[in-house]
Structure 1
């Protein structure tokens, strides 16, 4: 008998028929002799609809606490309906909110991190023969305040619960039947990976691949939780995410990811003094603004230029911070650029293979595009380019690294939410 945590995203439970299909799948696994804990997201576009409703009601920025109260209701609808569907098939089931399931978080509304899980109630319900359905994306502080975990929170809930109850595996069900070498909506002949390492998956997730949330992968790596990503629309073999993965012959790059949420900020004519960069990036850090790629040019006449990237949503706030320290740092001007995308290649084999980055630069330049910024690590190379021809770039890179296959990838529905 295995203990399995199964997570289903918003499109998997998007309507009554899909909810029933999930119920049948869960009951099937339970009747094979397994114990099942199921984590679900809000149905379809429920969360976005609730956010839109709050904007219609509130003329100012809605209070973060009340937004958590509002958004947490979406998952409560899902768990109750799924429990009803499972019970209608003759299988005992019980639904829990995040706080009923013992999910404790830090006291941050909108993007709380899990601080502790006390799964006693879950374990007791499992021993009584129930399928346990838990609302993803939510928890409770020590003071009893409801919190939400931010985008990808249901993935994180599932992996954290799998670690807490010592599950044999955590299965993430989505609209594609595994992890692909790139987005199969862009490259129809994308390669499905039978397995991938935690480190490779973490890089891909951080770089824009939407199949798994980075926090969930990080949690799985830290607690050695076996992950399987598979489709909720078929029974095909999925992708195993694990500590070590076998290398495919001749495949050095495992995946290609892209992120359109990129803005470039350039600070020109900075006085060459010790500690200038520290002043800029300390000020940004105090405002919780994450900085990604940083490039500094050479010094001329005692002045230097440097550029860095931030998320598009942080651009205006970052510009305000920089203008606020202008007198302290001393620079000629500051500028920003949008309409950019970060394209990245990832693969554990890159560290021991020369020429991988060169092939990327060549493929991009062959399309007549300039590379604005470059960032590298042992297992990834990222380029910031104009976003107008993103699909062409991804297709060119996919072919250049020998990732094309003869068959079309399976895509079962719209992209999953949370």
Structure 2
């Protein structure tokens, strides 16, 4: 018998038929002798509906009251799912975040979980019940209701699994696992049977939207095995776990686990900057002070006592960042400021890179063979990223996927 925490998102519980489908899935695990805790989101569209109602009343609703309002969405779902299980003959009980309680800090709309009291849940599990918990929400020490921000239900599920020392945390979505790349770009993309936390964190940060980074970070910190599955079809999904949990022979096989890409990229260049200590801070400091996240950075030293500085940011931040950089250029006496919002970043991720050489050269050769120019390069121990012109995104991803035989 295993203790399993399952999470179902908004599309999985989007209507009564789908809620009953979820109940059937949960029932199968109970029939197999497992204890099950279920975390659920609000029904798809409900959070948007509630938000729109709030904005009809207040242009800028108070965050505390928005948390009180939005958490009602999950409260509806937990009650309906519990009823569906009960109707099928499976004892079930629902809890909101504050009833568990899931204790958080007091940052409304993006609270962080600090502690989960597991006594009540264990008490119900020991009575043979399925425990259905509202995702995305918690309670402050003062008793105020909070929400956890984007990806909050995933985080709730992983936190519950950690607190309960569960055998596995299963995240049910509208896809059946993690793929070698986006199947919409490469139809031959394959579902991965397993992937490490480290690889999943890289892929999530680079544009893969299967899981929120926050939930993967939580799972990695507490070593909670995660499995991504489809709520609409059967299958084994993708297991995400620590590198140590893989067998050695399995770890030797894949050099590259996947290719991630991000279209949300822009590049800024400041040319002819005096080459002296502190210039990098003078350039990037104002950008960071404006809460604009900087990604890749390249600095080229010239022979005339000047340097060129290039960095990437999110495309939506370009107008503000460009104004700041022009102001900095005037102060530094730089020659020119250029920008480009027609770039994309493509990244190859794999723990196999740690022990194998030649991956970067093969990647660069593949792009060169397709007449794709590389504008910037960045690497980590398990990742190689390149910036290219966005018009070559599909060709680059498809070519790299084939070159590294990810379709095999």
TM-score normalised to structure 1 length: 0.88
CA distance in 2, matches of 1:70, 1:82: 20
* Paired positions, count: 404
CA shift, 1:89, in A, is 1.3
- Stretch moving more, 22-31 or 176-185: 176-185
1:88 matched residue in structure 2: 87
1:386 matched residue in structure 2: 389
* CA 1:87–1:383: 2 relative to 1, 3 Å: same
CA shift, 1:216, in A, is 1.3
* CA 1:334–1:154: 2 relative to 1, 3 Å: farther
Q: Is 1:341 aligned to 2:344, yes or no?
A: yes
Partner SS, residue 295 of structure 2 = coil
1:170 matched residue in structure 2: 169
1:410 matched residue in structure 2: none
CA shift, 1:381, in A, is 0.6
Q: Are the counterparts in 1 of residues 252 and 352 from structure 2 also a CA contact under 8 Å?
A: no
1:289 matched residue in structure 2: 292
Name the structure, 1 or 2, with higher relative contact order (CA <8 Å, separation 6+). 1
* CA 1:310–1:77: 2 relative to 1, 3 Å: farther
- Provide Cα deviations, 1:197-242, integer angstroms capped at 9, x if missing partner: 1111111111111112212111111111112222212331222212
2:19 matched residue in structure 1: 19
CA shift, 1:340, in A, is 2.5
- Provide Cα deviations, 1:61-114, integer angstroms capped at 9, x if missing partner: 554444434433332222222122112212222222222222223333333332
- Provide Cα deviations, 1:259-291, integer angstroms capped at 9, x if missing partner: 222222223333322112224434444443322
CA distance in 2, matches of 1:71, 1:19: 20
CA distance in 1, matches of 2:133, 2:89: 19
1:313 matched residue in structure 2: 316
Q: Are the counterparts in 1 of residues 348 and 385 from structure 2 also a CA contact under 8 Å?
A: yes
2:223 matched residue in structure 1: 224
CA distance in 1, matches of 2:290, 2:148: 20
Q: Are the counterparts in 1 of residues 329 and 337 from structure 2 also a CA contact under 8 Å?
A: no
* CA 1:171–1:279: 2 relative to 1, 3 Å: same
- Indicate the RMSD between aligned Cα atoms, in angstroms: 2.5
1:409 matched residue in structure 2: none
2:73 matched residue in structure 1: 74
Match for residue 262 of structure 1 among 244, 260, 265:
265
Q: Is 1:273 aligned to 2:276, yes or no?
A: yes
CA shift, 1:42, in A, is 2.1
* CA 1:250–1:243: 2 relative to 1, 3 Å: closer
Which runs of 5 or more structure 2 residues have no equivalent in the other structure?
none
- Stretch moving more, 356-365 or 329-338: 329-338
* CA 1:365–1:93: 2 relative to 1, 3 Å: same
- Provide Cα deviations, 1:162-189, integer angstroms capped at 9, x if missing partner: 0011111111112222222112233222
1:211 matched residue in structure 2: 210
Q: Is 1:350 aligned to 2:349, yes or no?
A: no
Q: Are the counterparts in 2 of residues 40 and 154 from structure 1 also a CA contact under 8 Å?
A: yes
2:114 matched residue in structure 1: 115
CA shift, 1:365, in A, is 3.2
2:45 matched residue in structure 1: 45
CA shift, 1:46, in A, is 2.9
Q: Are the counterparts in 1 of residues 207 and 262 from structure 2 also a CA contact under 8 Å?
A: yes
- Stretch moving more, 187-196 or 108-117: 108-117
Which runs of 5 or more structure 1 residues have no equivalent in the other structure?
406-418
Q: Are the counterparts in 1 of residues 347 and 384 from structure 2 also a CA contact under 8 Å?
A: yes
CA distance in 2, matches of 1:335, 1:56: 42
* CA 1:286–1:97: 2 relative to 1, 3 Å: farther
* CA 1:141–1:281: 2 relative to 1, 3 Å: farther
Partner SS, residue 204 of structure 2 = helix
Q: Are the counterparts in 1 of residues 109 and 146 from structure 2 also a CA contact under 8 Å?
A: yes
CA distance in 1, matches of 2:65, 2:319: 26
CA shift, 1:375, in A, is 0.9
1:5 matched residue in structure 2: 5
